[in-house]
Amino acid sequence: MDIKQQLTHLFESKWGAKPEHFYQAPGRVNLIGEHTDYNDGFVLPCAINHQTMIAATPRDDQKLVVTTANFDGQITEFDLELPIQSSTEASWSNYIRGVATVLLERSKPLRGANIAIIGNVPQGAGLSSSACLEVCTGLALSRLAGVDVSLKDLALIGQEAENNYVGVNCGIMDQMVSACGEDGHAMLLDCRSLETRSVKIPEGAAIVIINSNKKRGLVDSEYNTRRQQCEAVARHFDVKALRDVSVEMLEAHRDELDEVSYCRARHVITENSRTLEAAKVMPEGNLKRMGVLMAESHASMRDDFEITVPAIDTIVELVKGVIGEDGGVRMTGGGFGGCVVSLTPADKVTAIKQAIASDYEKQTGLKADIYVCKASQGASSIT
């Protein structure tokens, strides 16, 4: 039974009829460009073929009645004509409540609906299960009401919902690529202007995501700390964001900064340069140069930004031992656990799986999950 069939079965079990409409939005993996988004920099993510899917049928009243397969079919409801309150009993529904609130605040009329949700994006792995839920919710609610909202605006609505109603001060990358991703391509995103450019994934390359299953216990507090450190350096240089500081500027004023601030800034500034170069060499099929850039990115996250952990570093070394110069591997996501991403020739995938299976648990005591993905389309209605 595929994910759409599972979703249909869930909907029928709750409301006794097949749903009238289906919508989907994918998770994402970031190939390079880490912690650059909130510094107005550049990122190079792609949508992946794991997604959140919504089935929905309009109601005659203004209630949203929502259930999800990911929390054992729990049902929650709220009235669109009343102030929307957050829920402690069904905290997952706060993403839906937040998106509905932002749409209403933007004077977008909504209508009641029965909604069922399912997702196969691994939660807590840094693959944006929350962002694709927000984008999919925005798409479903707007289309059910006959309201024309662009995919880019749906991304901004999802980000606002997560910032203001869920309480996570995320950048725009996750929602933007979930909304606007393109099949077979990564997306170079300028996080200041929100301009995007499609970047072709090389023919014959596989995107391998390895979940370390190292619980990301520090990510929220340390994420906020890193953001504050970066913003402090930007203020020191009297610029809007670290995107406006060059390596030359940083080095010229190094003695004015403490060592930690200098290192944090150096990561962001050099990561922006690596990301722009990656967007140039990847469509040329230059996996060797991508490998160098991804290795430099990982070392910078490990040494300058200090967000990797031994389990993640172990996976990177194991994969690098398999692929050599034929591709790249690095930590991806906020840090302190989560996932590693590798861009590798497809014929190396089996050997990567074997290396992880034989050595990762032996070295760390953890078992990894491996997902072989392809760059996929962003949010859409499903016929």
Selection from 218, 182, 97, 217 nearest residue 376 by Cα = 182
- Distance CA(248)–CA(90), nearest Å, equals 50
Half-sphere exposure of 290 (CA within 13 A, CB side): 28
Catalytic residue (one of 40, 174, 304, 313): 174
Residue type, 36: T
- Dihedral angle at the C-alpha atoms of 84, 85, 89, 95, nearest 10 degrees? 60
- Distance CA(333)–CA(339), nearest Å, equals 7
Helix (H, G, I), strand (E, B) or coil at 375: strand
Classify residue 256 as exposed, middle or buried by CB count within 10 Å of its CB (0-12, 13-18, 19+).
exposed
Q: Is 369 a catalytic residue?
A: no
Task: Kindly provide the b/e burial profile for residues 169-194, where b requires at least 16 CB atoms within 10 angstroms of the residue's own CB.
Answer: ebbbbbbbbbbbbbeebbbbbebbee
Residues carrying an active site annotation: 174
